[in-house]
A and B are shown apart, each in its own frame.
Chain A
Amino acid sequence: EPEVTQTPSHQVTQMGQEVILRCVPISNHLYFYWYRQILGQKVEFLVSFYNNEISEKSEIFDDQFSVERPDGSNFTLKIRSTKLEDSAMYFCANPGHITDPDTQYFGPGTRLTVL
């Protein structure tokens, strides 16, 4: 299975602080997604990224969130001013095959804890 990597594995922050979550996707793919999973709940879509632009975003992805591709390969998810309810697992995902954008492979996730 194609491998997506994420760092850090666990991030603890104080409410109101900014956090940046990082992901190294499967290389040479144009599609990219961020999801989150609050403990014990289902996985929820945040944002999709296609060809270096945001393609779609959910209601969760408000002005406090942003996505960037700072160096042409890695992706970042930034939360500008974290809230307690932002505590969750954050997953990046992207397709493993450039001709098949549907089968999404997930990274191991970053556990964000907001205190």
Chain B
Amino acid sequence: GESVGLHLPTLSVQEGDNSIINCAYSNSASDYFIWYKQESGKGPQFIIDIRSNMDKRQGQRVTVLLNKTVKHLSLQIAATQPGDSAVYFCAERGSQGNLIFGKGTKLSVKP
């Protein structure tokens, strides 16, 4: 079936370091993936997305890598800042067009 999951529930990094958040998916036919940031009490905020015809996509301080061979997705945040502290969700587009979310990784940035 379709499922998206995250390897680590929590990640703690030092301010200024790079962060890497990982995600595994099970549906090899998935063609669209997206990362969201969710701060406490707020809705998911779009960070970056990637289609299956790409291996890498870069945004401002963020990079998403897609490895279709092992069905793995990662989000890299460069020079992590305290404002990056949040829960990060990966999601894939399901067969119905909806998004299927993973369980989330909580990123904590230590000053």
Contacts and interface: CB of A to CB of B under 8 A. Distances in A.
Interface string A23-67: 000000001010100000111110010000001101000000000
A55 B43 contact: no
Contacts of A103: 34, 46, 49
Contacts of A108: 42-43
Nearest to A107: B43
A34 B110 CA distance: 35
B60 interface: no
Interface residues of B, number: 23
Nearest to A10: B41
Contact of B98 (A4, A33, A109, A111): A33
Contacts of A93: 99
Contacts, number: 60
B98 A43 contact: no
Instruction: Name the prevailing secondary structure of the A interface residues.
Output: strand
A103 B50 CA distance: 10
B1 interface: no
A13 B46 CA distance: 31
Given A91-B44, A107-B43, A108-B43, A102 B101 contact: no
Interface of B: 32, 34, 36, 41-46, 49, 89, 91, 93-94, 96-104
16 contacts: A4-B43, A31-B97, A42-B89, A42-B102, A45-B98, A48-B96, A48-B98, A91-B44, A102-B32, A102-B49, A102-B93, A103-B46, A104-B34, A106-B43, A106-B45, A109-B43
